[in-house]
Structure 1
Amino acid sequence: MKFPPFFLLILSATLLTLSACKKEASTPPISNDQGNHPQLLLLEGEEEQIHTLIDTDPVWQEVHFAILQACNKFFKKELLERKLIGRRLLSVSRECIRRVFYLSYAYRMTGDERFLARAEAEMLAVAGFSDWNPSHFLDVAEMTMGMAIGYDWLYHDLPESSRTKIRQAIRTKGLEPSFDNNYNWFLGSTNNWNQVCNAGMTFGAVALAGAYPELARDVIDRAVSTIELPMGVYQPDGAYPEGYAYWGYGTSMNVLFLHALEKAMGSDYGLPQMPGFLETAGFLQHMLGTTSLCFNWGDCNLGGSLKPAMFWFAEQTSDPSLLWMERKFLEIDDYSRLTGDRLLPAILIWGKNIPMDQITAPERKVWVGQGSNPVALMRTSWTDPQAIYLGFKAGSPSVNHGHMDVGSFIMEADGVRWASDFGSQDYESLESKGIQVFGRAQDAQRWSIFRFNNYVHNTLTVDGELQRVDGYAGIDRYSEDPAFPFAISDISTVYDGQLQQSRRGVGIREEQYVIVRDEVSTLDRPTVIRWTMLTTANVSLTENGATLIKDGKTLYMRVSGPDNLQMRTWSTDPGTDYDAPNPGKTLLGFECELPANSSERFQVLLIPEDATGAVSPFDQPLSEW
């Protein structure tokens, strides 16, 4: 397989850095004093800072009480059991973190021994599992993290018999399997597996450092070195190649890892200063539209959600404006809606020095990041709920959790998402039908999954063929000019053998409407181009475009191109027994046949109803943008 040039550059630079790191540093041992607890995330006495926060800020008070109420609901549930879903124990591991983290927090903040007793019971139940499913090591990593938090935070109040069982389980079912070559392939990975597994193992190592100092040092040394691999993919600008949802997973676990090092070791070893890592908070912030829905490319669902790790970034960079969108997720009536997040107590640890009134709107309205999956994200306002939001991605289908969506875009205006993305489908629903979800070769079964190929993304399809997985496109040029922010990408390599050249530009004109322009050149044969846009609106085709209506709002699509261009809609019914259904969604666009050895341009305007009188003629080639 060919890899994107930028990916190879990142990998080469990262390996050089990794080699240098191994020569320089070995982590100092954590104290051998077994009484030196807690060491993870929140040291003894730091509870008072959180008490001060919740006493003075009603939002933080609501979050605190929501955690306590969730803990009270745990008493009505059965203790955790070793129940796999397909090949995964991951849902149990995540619930282990949620219950133990919440209950340990509740006990430290209130002293109520009911929370202590329930946390102990949950941990003993998990300690009694036959194993933590090392064949899918994410399960082990998250289980280890949850158990480590409870063991460390509750150490002095747990009976020795329970401490012994929990400690032995963390060692034998968590840490020791990570040295088995059948399971520890994550150490050489550049994706979220490395971040999650190294974080879980490090939490376990810190918790057990008093009892097993040499084991702890081996685990932490290994993690400090190997986590540089996934941290390398954030360079140069912070764009996370796995998208919004996996940013919430991989980056959050990376931040937990860094904070654990800082608290337990007194150093983060300069890891946050790796190129692009601190800048990735800007990526996450700009990935949310005016509707608070995310730009859900790749294996990602549509909904945006609170990300506690953003509070760590805001504190590290002294930039509360990074929390503008997170603040919206906290300004709600029912705070119990937040308690599905297993990391929620971390928000009070990382947010304890950030009053809500310090969070102001960001200044930048355009954010562009390169890397292995480049994106351009732009909007006309942070404060106007009717503002235009436009997201555009380049990149490669070959990245982890990637789709054949190079050149795709989403668009919002008037509080409506008009151009959408299907996002992902639950893996187990596919794997249970025998579908291989994670292949990346050109002929991988992954590309037969309806939501994953280019036929249903907001991009081009040429002669009914798939995009090339070994292709790669960057953001070649962009502008932050408020009158015309735009981004342009040469996406030719993903149509290798299908087109001579393909370039796409997207932008927002005069803060009024969106333009999507394609310039293509054909090979020595007639070529059929299909242009598609997914929408949840009701669609009526017109002579030169379409009218879209949703939630009482209207958007006009105006299309220009060759005379034989035909407007069309396509069904989103996948017609298989393994693909998820897609009710209420329509593929809108056009088809046309181009002659051999010809060049053509297609231009699509997406015009909110209030802007129809403001649209001036515009037909500039991309070279003149």
Structure 2
Amino acid sequence: MSIQYPKALFFMFFILSLQVSAQSFDLLEVKTLPPHPRILLLAQAESGIKKSIQDDSTWKGIHELILQESRKMLTHPPVERVMNGRRLLSMSRESLRRIFFLSYSWRMTRDSLFLKKAEVELRSIAGFTDWNPSHFLDVAEMTTAAAIGYDWLFPDLSAEVKALVKNAILKKGIEPSLKAENNAWLQSANNWNQVCNAGMAYGALAIYEDEPILAKAIITRSIKSVPVSMSAYAPDGAYPEGYGYWDYGTTFNILLIDALEKIFKSDFGLSKQTGFLESAAYMENMSGPIGKSFNYSDVSDAAEVHPPMFWLAKKQNKLSLLFEEKKYLQDKWLVRNRILPALIIWGEGIPIDKIEAPKELMWVGKGPTPVALMRTSWVNTNALFVGIKGGMPSSNHSHMDAGSFVMDANNERWAMDLGMQDYNSLESKGIALWDFKQTGQRWDVLRYNNYYHNTITLNNELQLVDGFAPITNFTDKPSFLSASIDLSQIYRNAALTVKRGIAIVDRRFVMIRDELISADTATTYRWVMLTPANVKLGKNGTAELSQHGKKLQLKAFGDAGITIKTWNTEPVHDYDAPNPGVTRVGFEVRIPKGSKRSFTVLLIPENDAANKGIENLQLKDWSSR
């Protein structure tokens, strides 16, 4: 029996449907959907996957890895409703991993052990009191898990489990999303919108026959709402929330798009949103030759495989976008990826041995968090790699890190970012972590303020959260890859203008140049770089960095005398995470009021030498170098 909804909800559903009537396909015309299974991998579509596995040893290896992990799951007790602080998210994600793996294994092998274990997991989550709607990501991922299990196993599930799961999807997934206190994400331009809309649409697609009016409204709502978050990719694909959150948001965005395409033969224009397809190039360039990402914002530096990249590469018919992904297809940690079966689905037919390196050595993206990414080679792990960012501290998940950079050379990371701290470790101590105001407690956390990033600090003050630092210029000549950022708004309380440029010169060394004009009071300028290397201080603005038997020279030049010094990264508060083995190296200079000053730092691998006089090259002349 269908549930009865108030007239107000029917009116909302009707209006939402009308708002997408101009799209290429109208859900109001849909009478029936394909039979189960219909989400992501249609009925009888297993044959294409099996051919890929037969034709390519890499796909066969990943397939076997899923089966092996599914067999291990057979002995695990079912997932329980265990909260971590205010989140159920870790349980939702493990449920998605288990149910996705087990459902895939059942469809590919017809081994009843996988079906029975999937039923156990589905029964368990259906029995939870709720899926924690106060943190709706938890609901979204749990609904995705339940929907995939319900849909993929539908022909073989017991009637009892079907009824339990269908009711759970409706009562614990979709219905809570209709309440205003749970659905602020509908208007959010971040990953929450992408994940939650995908989860709700999957739930609606799974139970479509039983609740067609509600299901159409939920799917229509997702089609209307998700472009709000997809606007973040504009204009050219740089994702404001960084490496890890690109994977999170884009994965669920493509889960949604792919399901719509396969069921309705249309994605309603979603893949044509400005910058969305182009973001694949952003993601490929965001990791360096040593397998570490440019981990600005709330992200770790671990690089790993990203299943949506395979969908994007196919969409653009550009296999070189998968050059970095190819590195991680043999990784034993692949089994931690909860949507690993989607990797095989999206990678179907892609010949791994045909993936070649990109030709471009530089990528620049604008938008809310502009970035420039440059390297001397894609195939040499000893290559130089630099990433630098602008943006604003007030954007979602941001740190006070405008102007910050990372740098790799000789198979080592020399300039690093501390990355994120576990949210619950801070929230459990009462830290208002999501207060992005200038006086917000977020900026008291060591890893989040500018004192512990590879950027400038003026007068020992925090960066201004309402400022914005754009990339103003770049050069993509292989002999002089460079980008310049205007940091003036970020530091407007302490200086009239502040500009920073970074370059890879002659494929041999890195140059960072700052040019500033102080305000009507004297300014203390501090230059800092975080490094995992040992630091040996030298004379005349020099230091030698060493790690794993390799060396890097740091040479600083400026309009005033420079003495290199170091600072520690020990926790300031009891809630700060430790940062063992990390040193801040840099210098401080007092700049008189109303003065123009410039400072250049060279990072020179091993015993190489920089071009004589290069430190005097002004930013305005970089474009003609």
Q: Please tell me the TM-score bracket, short chain as reference.
A: over 0.9
Q: In structure 1, give the amino acid aligned to 2:22.
A: E
**Could you give the per-residue CA deviations for residues 406-451 of structure 1, whole angstroms, max 9, x where no partner exists?**
0001000100000000000000000111111111100000000000
**Aligned pairs (5 A) from 1:62-461:** 62-332=61-331, 335=332, 337-461=333-457
**Could you give the per-residue CA deviations for residues 375-427 of structure 1, whole angstroms, max 9, x where no partner exists?**
00000000111110010100110110000000001000100000000000000
**Match of residue 548, structure 1, among 529, 540, 545:** 545
Greater relative contact order (CA < 8 Å, ≥ 6 in sequence): 1
Q: C-alpha displacement at 1:565, in angstroms?
A: 2.5
**Match of residue 598, structure 1, among 583, 595, 599:** 595
Partner of 1:326, secondary structure, is: helix
**Could you give the per-residue CA deviations for residues 445-497 of structure 1, whole angstroms, max 9, x where no partner exists?**
00000000000100000010000000001111101111101001111000021
C-alpha distance in 2 between matches for 1:352 and 1:75: 27
Q: In structure 2, give the amino acid aligned to 1:503.
A: K
Q: In structure 2, give the amino acid aligned to 1:560.
A: F
**Could you give the per-residue CA deviations for residues 64-93 of structure 1, whole angstroms, max 9, x where no partner exists?**
111111111112211111111110000010
C-alpha distance in 2 between matches for 1:201 and 1:81: 22
C-alpha distance in 1 between matches for 2:256 and 2:585: 44
C-alpha distance in 1 between matches for 2:371 and 2:21: 35
Q: C-alpha displacement at 1:19, in angstroms?
A: 13
Does 1:607 pair with 2:612?
no
Does 1:480 pair with 2:476?
yes
Between stretches 74-83 and 443-452, larger displacement belongs to 74-83
| TM-score (normalised: structure 2) | 0.95
C-alpha distance in 1 between matches for 2:124 and 2:458: 55
C-alpha distance in 2 between matches for 1:485 and 1:21: 46
Partner of 1:601, secondary structure, is: strand
- Change over 3 Å in CA distance of 1:19–1:518 after alignment to 2: farther
Is the contact between residue 308 and residue 347 of structure 1 (CA under 8 Å) also seen in structure 2? yes
Between stretches 32-41 and 508-517, larger displacement belongs to 32-41
C-alpha distance in 2 between matches for 1:531 and 1:98: 44
- Change over 3 Å in CA distance of 1:154–1:29 after alignment to 2: farther
Matched positions, count: 604
**Which position in structure 2 is the counterpart of 1:4?**
none
C-alpha distance in 2 between matches for 1:108 and 1:429: 40
Q: In structure 2, give the amino acid aligned to 1:361.
A: A
C-alpha distance in 2 between matches for 1:214 and 1:113: 35
C-alpha distance in 2 between matches for 1:349 and 1:120: 23
- Change over 3 Å in CA distance of 1:21–1:416 after alignment to 2: farther
Q: In structure 2, give the amino acid aligned to 1:606.
A: L
Q: In structure 2, give the amino acid aligned to 1:309.
A: P
Partner of 2:374, secondary structure, is: strand
C-alpha distance in 1 between matches for 2:301 and 2:287: 10
**Could you give the per-residue CA deviations for residues 9-28 of structure 1, whole angstroms, max 9, x where no partner exists?**
xxxxxxxxx99964624742
Q: C-alpha displacement at 1:219, in angstroms?
A: 0.3
**Could you give the per-residue CA deviations for residues 213-235 of structure 1, whole angstroms, max 9, x where no partner exists?**
11110001111011011101101
- Change over 3 Å in CA distance of 1:611–1:168 after alignment to 2: same
- Change over 3 Å in CA distance of 1:214–1:21 after alignment to 2: closer
- Change over 3 Å in CA distance of 1:100–1:31 after alignment to 2: farther
Partner of 1:605, secondary structure, is: strand
**Which position in structure 1 is the counterpart of 2:558?**
561
Does 1:517 pair with 2:516?
no
C-alpha distance in 1 between matches for 2:62 and 2:31: 36
**Which position in structure 1 is the counterpart of 2:9?**
none
Is the contact between residue 288 and residue 295 of structure 1 (CA under 8 Å) also seen in structure 2? yes
Partner of 1:530, secondary structure, is: strand
Is the contact between residue 31 and residue 209 of structure 1 (CA under 8 Å) also seen in structure 2? no
C-alpha distance in 1 between matches for 2:352 and 2:519: 57
Q: C-alpha displacement at 1:248, in angstroms?
A: 0.9
**Could you give the per-residue CA deviations for residues 144-193 of structure 1, whole angstroms, max 9, x where no partner exists?**
00000000000000111211111011001000110001101100100100
**Which position in structure 2 is the counterpart of 1:6?**
none
Q: In structure 2, give the amino acid aligned to 1:452.
A: Y
**Which position in structure 1 is the counterpart of 2:569?**
572
Partner of 1:519, secondary structure, is: strand
Is the contact between residue 36 and residue 210 of structure 1 (CA under 8 Å) also seen in structure 2? no
Partner of 2:66, secondary structure, is: helix
- Change over 3 Å in CA distance of 1:227–1:33 after alignment to 2: closer
- Change over 3 Å in CA distance of 1:30–1:290 after alignment to 2: farther
Partner of 2:47, secondary structure, is: helix
Partner of 2:120, secondary structure, is: helix
Q: C-alpha displacement at 1:563, in angstroms?
A: 3.0
- Change over 3 Å in CA distance of 1:46–1:22 after alignment to 2: closer
C-alpha distance in 1 between matches for 2:18 and 2:360: 36
Q: In structure 2, give the amino acid aligned to 1:368.
A: V
Q: C-alpha displacement at 1:58, in angstroms?
A: 1.2
**Which position in structure 2 is the counterpart of 1:14?**
none
**Which position in structure 1 is the counterpart of 2:13?**
none
Q: C-alpha displacement at 1:564, in angstroms?
A: 3.3
Percentage of identical aligned residues:
47
**Match of residue 585, structure 2, among 584, 588, 592:** 588
Q: In structure 1, give the amino acid aligned to 2:477.
A: D
Is the contact between residue 30 and residue 213 of structure 1 (CA under 8 Å) also seen in structure 2? no
**Which position in structure 1 is the counterpart of 2:22?**
24
Q: In structure 1, give the amino acid aligned to 2:52.
A: L
**Which position in structure 1 is the counterpart of 2:54?**
55
Partner of 2:608, secondary structure, is: helix
C-alpha distance in 1 between matches for 2:260 and 2:34: 18
Is the contact between residue 361 and residue 377 of structure 2 (CA under 8 Å) also seen in structure 1? yes
| TM-score (normalised: structure 1) | 0.95
C-alpha distance in 2 between matches for 1:125 and 1:159: 14
Is the contact between residue 387 and residue 415 of structure 1 (CA under 8 Å) also seen in structure 2? yes
**Could you give the per-residue CA deviations for residues 296-332 of structure 1, whole angstroms, max 9, x where no partner exists?**
0000011001101100001100001000000001144
Is the contact between residue 547 and residue 555 of structure 1 (CA under 8 Å) also seen in structure 2? yes
**Could you give the per-residue CA deviations for residues 212-269 of structure 1, whole angstroms, max 9, x where no partner exists?**
1111100011110110111011011100000001011011111111111111221101
Partner of 1:330, secondary structure, is: coil
Q: C-alpha displacement at 1:56, in angstroms?
A: 1.8
Q: In structure 2, give the amino acid aligned to 1:492.
A: S
Is the contact between residue 468 and residue 493 of structure 1 (CA under 8 Å) also seen in structure 2? yes
**Which position in structure 2 is the counterpart of 1:41?**
40
C-alpha distance in 2 between matches for 1:190 and 1:284: 19
Does 1:533 pair with 2:547?
no
RMSD over aligned Cα, in angstroms? 1.5
Q: In structure 2, give the amino acid aligned to 1:475.
A: I
Q: In structure 1, give the amino acid aligned to 2:176.
A: P
- Change over 3 Å in CA distance of 1:421–1:20 after alignment to 2: farther
**Could you give the per-residue CA deviations for residues 7-55 of structure 1, whole angstroms, max 9, x where no partner exists?**
xxxxxxxxxxx99964624742596658811110101111111111111
**Could you give the per-residue CA deviations for residues 564-597 of structure 1, whole angstroms, max 9, x where no partner exists?**
3221100100232100000000000000101010
**Could you give the per-residue CA deviations for residues 111-148 of structure 1, whole angstroms, max 9, x where no partner exists?**
00000010011001100111000000000000000000
Gaps of 5+ in 2: 1-15
Is the contact between residue 30 and residue 210 of structure 1 (CA under 8 Å) also seen in structure 2? no
Q: In structure 1, give the amino acid aligned to 2:595.
A: S
C-alpha distance in 2 between matches for 1:616 and 1:92: 58
C-alpha distance in 2 between matches for 1:265 and 1:132: 29
Gaps of 5+ in 1: 1-17
**Aligned pairs (5 A) from 1:459-470:** 459-470=455-466
Between stretches 565-574 and 221-230, larger displacement belongs to 565-574
C-alpha distance in 2 between matches for 1:110 and 1:406: 51
